[in-house]
Structure 1
Amino acid sequence: MIQDHRVKWRMFILSIIMLIALTGCSSNSKDTTSNDKNMTQTNDQTDVTNKKDVKLVFWHYLNDRDDLLKEMASDFEQKTGIKVDVQLFGGDGFKQKIMASAQNNALPDVMTFAGGAGDLGQLVEAGNVMELSDMKDMFDKFPSTILKTFTFDNNNIFGVKKFGTYAIPMDTNNMQFVYNTKLFEKVGITSAPTTWDELLTDVDRLKAAGIVPFATGIGSWVAGSMAAPYEVAYLGEEKLVNVKKGDESLVDSGYLKVLQRFEDLYKHGAYAEGIATMDLPAAEQMFVNEEVAMIFDGSWAIGVFNQMNPNFTHYDVFQPPKPADAAYDVKIPGGIGVPLVIDNHTKNKEAAMQFVRFLVEKEQQQKYASKSFNLPANIEAATSESGMTPALHNFSLGMNHIIENGGSYPDPSVETVLQKGIQLIAIGQSTPDKVLKEMDVELQKALKEKK
């Protein structure tokens, strides 16, 4: 009996031990699952926390778009959790601020660059700005001629050895003719001119009705920009480059016909009074006041007109009309309006690229165009018409007709002679022959000094 009792007691103890073991295993299994969940939740929270801890600094110089950019930064934060501190540095000193900050490795994560390709090239060579090949999938969203502005290859004239693309365009610009649709209708003109002869006929009809046909900033840099489409139309881009370099004769190049187009407008009485000394803002004010029927201006003028008079909307755009004797297509001056650049030393590289991507997405570009009146760089946004006025949309159609390479003279003094010559032709105090000879004298002088 005692032995049976001992056996039973042993079996009881063993059962207890097994029950405890099973309970322990079950408990451990439950705890492990719980721990896995806790770890997952912790990791997720860490990811969110890390993202929320990221704060980008974005510098820009766009006084008229500060509120808009802050609004877009807020949208970006809501979408991604990444904060962006938008800082405005308006005024002429922005480029100098960038250059000085670069020397001290104190650039912001992202910035709008103020300056030309040569200026950016200095920062590239110093290793201050990021090469953007990691964003190459975005490149086909922009016209190739636009993207090339801040792309350095082995043919770049700035001596940049670190080849690649260093800026993404936030917007673009180009220059075309803008006309008052009501003044045109008033004299029976139902559509914009497409040929040079049609333009002169329209000038005659406006003049006969007592309407001043045309004004622009011929007293400033605009003179050369207005000549540029006809330089390409008569010489072609390749020959134009060679002529400006001195590899081909300027006098025998056909450039005389470029200058004769300004004489045509003078002979037909197209120009507003004071055209020789007129700057672009003065011409824009005349256009908005409906004192002239046409102006040669940039796409940025849409915003200027809106600021001057929001109720003035009856105008549209046409590309420079082609002369019958021009051998090449007319192209227009244009390029990147506002380039976006990323600091090469940023600790937030992925977030910075994500923000730049956001700014140039189709939806954001449409919003940017509708609120700032500037041309979107994104081709889809530019061609969709959504959010753009008819005039801005027609400016956008010029994106595929930008002069790719107009070349440059060995010294700016040649351009100065051209500008002064156009001013005198416009008031009948000089001739195309005389101006061409003066340009050639200056060019030969510059070439000699270069040697």
Structure 2
Amino acid sequence: MAMATSIATVRRRRFAAATTGILALALAVTGCSSGTGEAPTTSITFWHYWTDRAEVLQSLATEYQEETGVEVKLELVPGDAMGQKFQAAAQADKLPDIAASWEPAGEVLAVYANEGQVQNLSALDGGQDWFDRFEPATVAGVSYAPDNPWKVDPGAYLVPFDTNNMQFLYNKDLFDQAGISKLPTTLNEFVDASEKLRAIGAQPFISGFSSWPLESMASMYIDNAISPETRSAAYAGEGRYDTKEWTEFLGIFETLAAAGVFADGIVGYDMPAAETLFASGQAGMIFDGSWALGVFNQTNPDFTNYGVFLPPSLGDEELRIPGGVGSTAFVVGSSPHVDEAAAFLEWLTDAPQQKKYAESSFNIPANREVATELALDENIAAFAEGADKLIAPTTEVMQAPVITTMAKGLQLIIAGTDTPAAVAARMQLALETGQPQ
């Protein structure tokens, strides 16, 4: 991370030189000139599903054409259809030049990477220098490691536009009305703040607990409450879930529910409904991701008096939060315009463009120079500061049937219709049978 102006200046010059080299190659191949106003001799197509930032992407594409003469045609595709559309287009040999990725660098994309339809960007001239502008952890999140099980040639295959993490957000007006002068850092303080919010008629805490956010919140407290040794043993099938440690973890949610922390009917809320409740000023706190800033701006542009804070920890040990690489795209390796497509994505992730992207979309820019050195919205900055507090990536994960059983059990615990001990026992049964309980 750049710590001094001189270092940052050197990096900017190096990035500019790399960008110039790739653009020069693209212009030499296509024969187009920059800023002539003539019809482009090269046109590249970019499929994406980011409706919330379509306007800023179009603006940047227009700016790029004015600078280089290369036209970028942006096509919106429904997010849940991207994978199917890409597969069908691959079979019909009608792929775009660039596509927003619907999957991380893992098993699904490995098939396309091995077939050359997802380009290894590290293998391109200047590819290594290009990816120096991102944090090492971000690069790792868009790359296939040398020892990956899918035998994909190692390197960076996805281009990160932003990063994300999940924290708590709070309504400053409701906190003032409730007389909450200190942000909660422990569960006891969290409960106390919630009681004060209920006293003024506000729902204390909301999130999309009918789906994945409940698992994300649980992952924080698993990491915070259960020792690494116990986690590893359970994930490997050598330990047990029906133990005191796992039962006490589940009991965190029972305690919070009994104290009235959770909004009424929270297990029936998906994330859009939870975000609407918070953005309408009816809830004091929400567990959400950095992308929520853009959602709130779209949902209620007048709702601006809110802040971000790290979720409360169980004790003295700092709580780690979920997060990682956010929106990504890749160059289609079978495209006749690989160099031009790579040049556009490199330009798009350079500092000036990343700043415009961040200010318009309210996302944390992946370019570390922008994330750390340029003036950003205070809430974007607060999320950006969370980048060094993420749950450490690991290959050890909870078994899928156990995750499903735990999520369902947590909903029942929050609703007051089940107990931590009973849920822990069902998690163990799910481990033993390989079936959700």
Q: Deviations over 1:169-223 (max 9, x none)?
A: 1122221111111111222222322222322222232233443211111121211
SS in 1 for 2:80: coil
Q: Deviations over 1:137-162 (max 9, x none)?
A: 23333233333233222554x53443
Q: 1:82 deviation in Å?
A: 2.2
Counterparts in 2 of 1:223 and 1:446: CA distance versus 1, 3 Å: same
CA–CA distance in 1 between the matches of 2:249 and 2:133?
34
CA–CA distance in 2 between the matches of 1:383 and 1:442?
44
Counterparts in 2 of 1:313 and 1:258: CA distance versus 1, 3 Å: same
> Could you say which residue in structure 2 is the equivalent of 1:435?
423
CA–CA distance in 1 between the matches of 2:235 and 2:335?
41
CA–CA distance in 1 between the matches of 2:374 and 2:284?
25
> Could you say which residue in structure 2 is the equivalent of 1:343?
332
Asked if the contact 1:143/1:399 (under 8 Å) is kept, the reply is no
CA–CA distance in 2 between the matches of 1:180 and 1:207?
14
> Could you say which residue in structure 2 is the equivalent of 1:352?
341
Counterparts in 2 of 1:433 and 1:337: CA distance versus 1, 3 Å: same
Q: 1:422 deviation in Å?
A: 1.0
Q: Report the residue type matching 2:90 in the other structure.
A: A
TM-score (normalizing by structure 2):
0.84
Query: How many residues end up aligned between the 2 structures?
Result: 399
Counterparts in 2 of 1:352 and 1:47: CA distance versus 1, 3 Å: closer
Identity %: 35
Q: 1:238 deviation in Å?
A: 7.0
Asked if the contact 1:214/1:295 (under 8 Å) is kept, the reply is yes
SS in 1 for 2:31: helix
- Aligned partner (choices 236, 239, 249) of residue 248 of structure 1: 239
Q: Report the residue type matching 1:71 in the other structure.
A: S
> Could you say which residue in structure 2 is the equivalent of 1:324?
315
CA–CA distance in 2 between the matches of 1:50 and 1:124?
30
> Could you say which residue in structure 1 is the equivalent of 2:386?
398
CA–CA distance in 1 between the matches of 2:136 and 2:322?
15
- Aligned partner (choices 317, 320, 323) of residue 334 of structure 1: 323
Counterparts in 2 of 1:313 and 1:322: CA distance versus 1, 3 Å: same
> Could you say which residue in structure 2 is the equivalent of 1:143?
135
Q: Report the residue type matching 2:52 in the other structure.
A: D
SS in 2 for 1:261: helix
CA–CA distance in 2 between the matches of 1:335 and 1:75?
29
CA–CA distance in 1 between the matches of 2:402 and 2:59?
45
Q: Report the residue type matching 1:141 in the other structure.
A: R
> Could you say which residue in structure 2 is the equivalent of 1:88?
76
1:235 aligned onto 2:223: no
CA–CA distance in 1 between the matches of 2:173 and 2:365?
27
Q: Deviations over 1:105-141 (max 9, x none)?
A: 4322222112343221121122211112132223333
Q: Report the residue type matching 2:143 in the other structure.
A: T
CA–CA distance in 1 between the matches of 2:95 and 2:340?
16
- Gapped runs of 5+ residues in structure 2? 1-26, 34-39
> Could you say which residue in structure 2 is the equivalent of 1:33?
none
Asked if the contact 1:179/1:316 (under 8 Å) is kept, the reply is yes
Q: 1:442 deviation in Å?
A: 0.4
> Could you say which residue in structure 1 is the equivalent of 2:31?
49
SS in 1 for 2:327: strand
Asked if the contact 2:141/2:324 (under 8 Å) is kept, the reply is yes
Counterparts in 2 of 1:404 and 1:107: CA distance versus 1, 3 Å: farther
> Could you say which residue in structure 2 is the equivalent of 1:414?
402
Asked if the contact 1:68/1:368 (under 8 Å) is kept, the reply is yes
Asked if the contact 2:243/2:424 (under 8 Å) is kept, the reply is no
Q: Deviations over 1:396-439 (max 9, x none)?
A: 222222223254334x2221111111111112222222211111
> Could you say which residue in structure 2 is the equivalent of 1:374?
363
CA–CA distance in 1 between the matches of 2:431 and 2:358?
41
1:264 aligned onto 2:255: yes
> Could you say which residue in structure 2 is the equivalent of 1:17?
none
Asked if the contact 1:362/1:380 (under 8 Å) is kept, the reply is yes
CA–CA distance in 1 between the matches of 2:392 and 2:190?
25
> Could you say which residue in structure 1 is the equivalent of 2:97?
109
Asked if the contact 2:56/2:357 (under 8 Å) is kept, the reply is yes
Report matched runs for 1:180-329 at 5 Å. Answer: 180-235=171-226, 240-252=231-243, 254-324=245-315, 329=318
> Could you say which residue in structure 1 is the equivalent of 2:48?
60
CA RMSD of aligned residues (A): 2.5
Asked if the contact 2:178/2:199 (under 8 Å) is kept, the reply is no
- Gapped runs of 5+ residues in structure 1? 1-44
Q: Report the residue type matching 1:206 in the other structure.
A: L
- Aligned partner (choices 59, 62, 86) of residue 74 of structure 1: 62
Asked if the contact 1:237/1:405 (under 8 Å) is kept, the reply is no
TM-score (normalizing by structure 1):
0.81
Asked if the contact 1:243/1:253 (under 8 Å) is kept, the reply is no
